[in-house]
Amino acid sequence: MVKHHGIPFLEKKQKKIIILNSNKNDVELILGPPSTESSFDKDVWIYIERKTTVSKLRSLGQKKLLTNNVLVLEFDKKGILVQKKFYDKNEMNNIKISKKETSVLNKKDTFIKNILIGLRQKINDPLGQRQAK
């Protein structure tokens, strides 16, 4: 049994969309409304296609991913397509995700953090003799 989610045959349909030639109306006729729009920029549309199947009995019914396609379209202010990126299952495995974290600079946070660090030091070393060594 195959479960399908999103736009069927996304890989075939995305080939009909041409950069600097297609507009938002053309894209909606070919693909329909986007699966999601970027929350930061309303001119970025994202289409998703995902197919899964229940694998053989010996694997206890775990789902197997057949296709996982994502199409990212970016439009200019006039609604003309300026950029198109298509990702399939294999390309998504090769995407490296950064493990760096962004620290938040907040005066209240650092003030409270400094108080808690000071309290922890006083609890662990009430007489202040560990620093003297």
88-124 pLDDT, tens per residue? Answer: 877 666 666 667 776 665 555 666 777 777 777 777 7
Report the distance separating Cα 25 and Cα 73, nearest Å: 13
Indicate yes or no: pTM above 0.75: no
Q: Strand pairing partners for 47? A: 71
Which pLDDT score, from 0 to 100, does residue 105 have?
A: 58
Q: Return the H-helix or E-strand segment holding 110.
A: helix 107-124
CA distances from residue 39 to 9, 14, 45, 50, 64 in whole angstroms, order as listed:
26, 22, 10, 22, 30
Element at 11 (helix H, strand E): helix 10-14
pLDDT at 85 exceeding the cut of 60: yes
Whether the pLDDT of residue 66 is over 70: the answer is: yes
